[in-house]
Structures are given as C-alpha cells and as structure tokens.
Amino acid sequence: MSDPQPVEEIKLDRKNLYREETFTDLKVGSIQRLVPIKADGKRDESREPIFVGQTQLISQAGPVPVSARIEAADLDEALRKFPQAMRKAVDQLVEEVNRMRREQQSRIVVPGQDPLGPKIIT
C-alpha cells in the first residue's frame, strides 16, 4: 500500500473538471449530468457529458443508495434508460450481497472465537 499523500499535495485534475447538474422528480430518484468544463469554467466541447442515475431501495436496515452510469447522449435518452440502468445496478447489488453471504457461510468457525470477528473496544 502506498503512503498517504500530504494534504498540501492534494490537487484537482484541471484537465478533468465537470459541472454537476441534478434533475429529479422528487419521488423515485435523480439523474446527475456531469458537463465537462475547462479550468476557466467554459464548456469543454472535446468531451461528452456523463449521466448518472440515483435512487434508493428500502431495506430492513434502512435506505440503500443505488447509483449507476447511464450511457446516453442527452437528458431525454438518460430519462428513458433510467429504469434499465437502475435494474442492472440493483441486480449487481443483489449479486454482491449473495456473494458476501456465501463467503460468510463458508468461513471456518474456530471454537472460542466470535464468528463475526474481533470486537472493537472504544
């Protein structure tokens, strides 16, 4: 693992800046449009905007945020593709949870050890 970067050396990548715009129906979710810009704030026409869909699932543990990139040329196309992108993201999330469950079930439990791992004392 690399050493942490000193705070004074943390810098934004001036060649990879985006302006964020958010569109929401205040019910189901939102779509974020990331518009590429130059360091002077003007639109960078050499790069395409990025669309990211966001919603929440309600679980027993509370709300679970779900987000996914939406491959679209404009907002209208992103709106049409939103349901499909969220379905794919939810499927991936369920797959990951199931994988973690399988790994947890296959752990060898040693007598005298807490099956959830060491306790953290604060």
Q: State the pLDDT at residue 112.
A: 65
pLDDT (mean) for 10-33: 96
Helix (H, G, I), strand (E, B) or coil at 19: strand
Q: State the pLDDT at residue 103.
A: 85
Helix (H, G, I), strand (E, B) or coil at 37: strand
Phi and psi at 55, nearest 5°, equal: -150, -175
Q: Band the pLDDT of 110: cuts 50, 70, 90.
A: low
d(C-alpha 50, C-alpha 73), whole Å: 8
Percent helix, strand, coil in the chain (nearest 5)? Answer: 30, 30, 40
* Res. 1: pLDDT tops 60: no
d(C-alpha 26, C-alpha 113), whole Å: 47
d(C-alpha 29, C-alpha 66), whole Å: 9
* Res. 8: pLDDT tops 90: no
